[in-house]
Structure 1
Amino acid sequence: MSARDFNKVAPALWGSARFLALEVDARLQFIYYATNPHVNSAGVYRLTDGYAVDDLKCDRSRYIENRAAMLAAGMIDYDEQHSFLMVERWFKHNRPMNDSHALGTLRFIEAIESERLREKVMPLFLEADAARLAREAKKKADREARKIAERLEQPSPRSNSGILSTRLMSMGGRG
């Protein structure tokens, strides 16, 4: 079972030509793939047909047809030998949020029994995590730049800036 309380499913899904081209029950099956209790932060997990058919309360042959349609549309990948499913473009909406999340995701990836899916998802994860680290570095640099700018805007206690605002100086030296 998943320790996840929620997964992100983008509203843009409802505008996706690939998603809308699926039959209605296949759309539900795709949403199941992205949100079921077996899913993890890597978007690649073990899912037997029996578990899925039981969870969805659907016909096994229809379930397999729907999965084939999603495979053909490039929405999922599936390793039948190991019963591992991968939600394509997972990290587009479910990027690692912090170092702990990234480390946990890496552990899930390392535990994927399907070598093909493990090798497929690893560079996608690394790219998503590198983007996270770059965003964090930019945020930190922006914060530091703001702090420096704020310090530069504040007069120093030793500066002569107070002299310029005296009555004598504001009158141009005329008394």
Structure 2
Amino acid sequence: MRDFGKVHTQFWESTKIRGLSEDARYLAIYLLSCPHGTIAGVFRLPDGYACEDLQWTSKRVSEGFKELFQKGFANRCETTKWVWVCKHFEWNPLENPNQRKSAVKVADQIPDECDWKPAFMRVCGPLLGIQAPDFDNPLETLSEGFLNQEQEKEKEKEKEIREPNGSVGKADPIPPCPTQDLIDLFHEVLPELPAVRLLNDKRKKSISAMWRWVLTSRKTDNTRRAETAEQAKAWFREYFDRARDNDFLMGRGQRSGDHANWVCDIDFLMTDRGLKHVIEKTRVAA
């Protein structure tokens, strides 16, 4: 148990922090300063710990983590309950060899079953002098993290050049498809289904086609499904969540005939047939 955690004053000036909900902002402060944190920015945080410390319900904790993950601030594995504060080493650089050794000891404790471990080892392994081993999910990546103030200003300038109206610009009406981010969402929400281990052209095209459809199609009430990249990502998360509610897709119950050994995967979910199945045969309509 550590005695204190560091929170920079720029935390309160960050546009991304200011854009968080009150619960997510409070949870972020908690992760930076809670007694369970470590020098490596990774630690195990079961619901019971967070609920007791924050005096929150488990659902409230889960919703807070979901928002922090979407914003690239932190990632939590729902299987192992380990948490990674994604930009920890940028805010808390290691100052001497002893701190590095301590951080390596903590990193060695991350279970192999932790879904974000491959990304952590790839991003932080070189800093710690750890060679990332082969994992079952070599495509696991980190969503875009929080930027410092100068980086945020540069990004805003680039956005103004590309998108003069502050939304999807006329020159490029569809934001580039964040293929890997969508695969990461698939892995996070549907870990029971086959992991994506090969990203070939066919898969890229099918994911990109679905991305374009989300940003160009309209719902039955004539409203757009998504107008920005963030809204489209949120739609994909809800789409995968709806797939979880479908007993047939998740293999709950017996299958017969041609479907006896069939297994749903990301390829099926990216087809018109899969889209129709999820939208029309689950309890929530898209």
TM-score (norm 1): 0.66
Matching residue of 1:108: 106
C-alpha change, 1:60 and 1:129, in structure 2 (3 Å) is closer
Contact 1:110 1:118 survives alignment (8 Å): no
**Greater percentage in helix:** 1
Distance in 2 of aligned mates of 1:128 and 1:5: 24
2:58 to 60, 82, 98: 60
1:84 to 82, 85, 106: 82
Unaligned runs of 5+ in 2: 130-286
Alpha-carbon displacement from aligned partner over 1:108-138 (angstroms, at most 9, x marks no partner): 00111144433322343345458xxxxxxxx
Contact 2:103 2:128 survives alignment (8 Å): no
The alignment-based identity, stated in percent, is: 28
| SS state at 1:45 partner | strand
Unaligned runs of 5+ in 1: 131-175
Counterpart residue type for residue 88 of structure 2: W
Pick which of 120-129 and 78-87 moved more: 120-129
Distance in 2 of aligned mates of 1:15 and 1:42: 24
Matching residue of 2:39: 41
For residue 104 of structure 1, report the CA deviation from its aligned partner: 0.8
Matching residue of 1:139: none
C-alpha change, 1:69 and 1:118, in structure 2 (3 Å) is same
Matching residue of 1:172: none
| Max Rg structure | 1
Alpha-carbon displacement from aligned partner over 1:40-76 (angstroms, at most 9, x marks no partner): 1111111011110111011222221111111111111
Distance in 1 of aligned mates of 2:93 and 2:52: 29
Distance in 1 of aligned mates of 2:57 and 2:15: 25
TM-score (norm 2): 0.42
Counterpart residue type for residue 26 of structure 1: A
- Count of paired positions: 128
Matching residue of 2:124: 125
Counterpart residue type for residue 65 of structure 1: E
Contact 2:100 2:128 survives alignment (8 Å): yes
Contact 2:42 2:85 survives alignment (8 Å): yes
